[in-house]
Amino acid sequence: MPLYSHSRLSTFEQCPLKFKFRYIDKVETEGAEGVEAFVGKRVHETLEKLYKDLQMQKLNSLPALLKFLNDEWKKNWNDEIIIVKQDYSPELYLKLAEKFVIDYYHRYKPFNHSRTIAVENRVVIKLDEKGEYLLQGYIDRLGYVDPGVYEIHDYKTNSSLPLQEYLDEDRQLALYQLAVKEGYKDAQRIRLIWHFLAFDKELESTRTDEQLEQLKAETLALIKQIEATTEFPAKVSKLCDWCEFRPICPEWKHLYALEDKEPEEYLEDDGVKLVNKYAKVTEKKRKLMTELDNELEDLKERIIIFAEKIGVNVIFGSDNKVRITITDTVKLPYKNTEERQELNELLKKLGKWEEVAELDTFALAKIIKNKGWPQQLLGQLKRFIKIEGSYRVYLGRIKEE
């Protein structure tokens, strides 16, 4: 049974294909790291040093910490690091990392809010009784305040500040709380504390025992879902910009290959040529269809007027004729309206429902595809189901994605 982690679970939730690349196929992507993650690592290391040294009664000065940060930055920086926001230079990111450390230092000096028990502390959480399902994590800093009161500290270098309700639902620190509760039997109160360094802001949350039990059950269910998964579709989102698997991801591989091409070379690419042509023909078709529809509508109106004028039902051309009829169309209440619901109920009451009700094959196909009913139930329908693969081609604007 693999050892799970919060980030492993989040990767699956974010994109099953990314999960497959990273944890099943174990694709090597050395060096392909986003600058944001790089900043996060360097700041974490610096704060780790601060507290580790404090445990040995050594208080680093701010210049000493910044020197440490700069040295680590230089030692680890490489040209493969991805900067998505092209307007910002590596130097600017270094300044940002320094600012995080400076603000934190000024805010908490002399760092005596709690006694540090451990930094970068590895914890293993048992999710089931037998201990078959284990999850590991690293607590940035575990602190001890008063008897029975513990603090789990987490440093965040994100550029967005989450709402309190989001933190109250956060899985990562709550899972760590389970480990602390298990490991320190005197723990009566465990505070979950996030340091949002970009905002020089501390946010806090707590969990009840019931919430922790529920979280354990949900996490276990997610792990079982992952283990039963056989298909790992790509899930495109904004986070793709930071995904190290873009060069091999079927959603981005072509674009990635184009990025290195010169403009002339780019336009000569077979894929680019095909899509440009496809877009052009689609647009041409749309225009032609609109023109033809308008022309037909206009002719229809003129034919009706002509027929009415000379009092006929049929008009003759050279090889064709046109018949004009008046038909009444029965209009019924739309689907999902209250009126439609009432109509359905009435028909059932009148015993006429079976005569007009039909199986909604579209809805059933959707349920089968999304495995929306229990496996056992779907199994009984198996002999009626045929799965046929088919290609579809969708045209979309690049900026929409």
Nearer to ligand SF4 by Cβ, of 82 and 236: the residue is 236
Six-digit token string for 271: 């894929």
d(CA 200, CA 302): 73
Nearer to ligand SF4 by Cβ, of 93 and 252: the residue is 252
Nearer to ligand SF4 by Cβ, of 153 and 246: the residue is 246
Contacting residue, 6, 18, 141, 156, with ligand SF4 by CB under 6 A? 18
Contacting residue, 15, 43, 50, 69, with ligand SF4 by CB under 6 A? 15
The contacts of residue 196 (CB under 8 Å, 6+ apart) are 156, 158, 161, 202, 203
Binding mask of the shown chain, residues 161 to 200, with x at each position contacting ligand SF4 by CB under 6 A: ----------------------------------------
DSSP string covering 328-341: PPP--PPTTSHHHH
Specify the residue for token string 């000065």: 61
Burial class (CB in 10 A: 0-12, 13-18, 19+), 202: middle
d(CA 287, CA 212): 59
Tell me how far, at minimum, the Cβ of 394 lies from ligand SF4, in Å.
16
d(CA 340, CA 388): 34
Nearer to ligand SF4 by Cβ, of 44 and 235: the residue is 235
Tell me how far, at minimum, the Cβ of 293 lies from ligand SF4, in Å.
38
Nearer to ligand SF4 by Cβ, of 239 and 363: the residue is 239
Q: Is 234 in the site for ligand SF4 (CB under 6 A)?
A: yes
Q: Is 249 in the site for ligand SF4 (CB under 6 A)?
A: yes
Q: Is 215 in the site for ligand SF4 (CB under 6 A)?
A: no
Q: Is 142 in the site for ligand SF4 (CB under 6 A)?
A: no
Q: Is 11 in the site for ligand SF4 (CB under 6 A)?
A: no
Q: How far is CA 232 from CA 15, 42, 121, in A?
A: 8, 33, 32
Pairing of strands 115-126, 4-5: unpaired
Q: How far is CA 192 from CA 141, 149, 252, 346, 364, in A?
A: 11, 11, 38, 56, 45
Contacting residue, 236, 322, 367, 368, with ligand SF4 by CB under 6 A? 236
- Amino acid 249 reads C
Q: Is 22 in the site for ligand SF4 (CB under 6 A)?
A: no
Sign of the alpha-carbon torsion through 242, 247, 251, 256: positive
Nearer to ligand SF4 by Cβ, of 97 and 243: the residue is 243
Nearer to ligand SF4 by Cβ, of 208 and 230: the residue is 230
Which stretches of the chain bind ligand SF4, using CB under 6 A?
15, 17-18, 234-236, 239-240, 243, 245-246, 249, 251-252
